[in-house]
Amino acid sequence: MKYFLNRLREPSTWAAISALGVVFGLPPGTIDLAAQVAVGITGLAGIVLKDKGDAPK
């Protein structure tokens, strides 16, 4: 369980989850909008979440 929670803290995991949602979970007509929203969310996550190897400041 700890492994899974650690992966959820990484921005790349959120990008991958968003990509899978776009590819497998949405009808063709909404893929463009969903992709834009997913990119926005993962972009914000990339700003807010720190990478695992970063030292605290």
Q: Where are the domains of the chain?
A: 9-48
Angstrom distance (rounded) from CA 51 to CA 18: 18
Contact 49, 11 (CB under 8 A): yes
Q: pLDDT value at position 48?
A: 85
**At residue 1, does pLDDT exceed 80?**
no
Q: pLDDT value at position 35?
A: 67
What count of residues does the chain have?
57
pTM reported for the whole predicted model: 0.43
Condensed to tens digits (0 to 9), the pLDDT of residues 11-43 reads 787 777 777 777 777 665 666 676 678 778 878
**At residue 10, does pLDDT exceed 70?**
yes
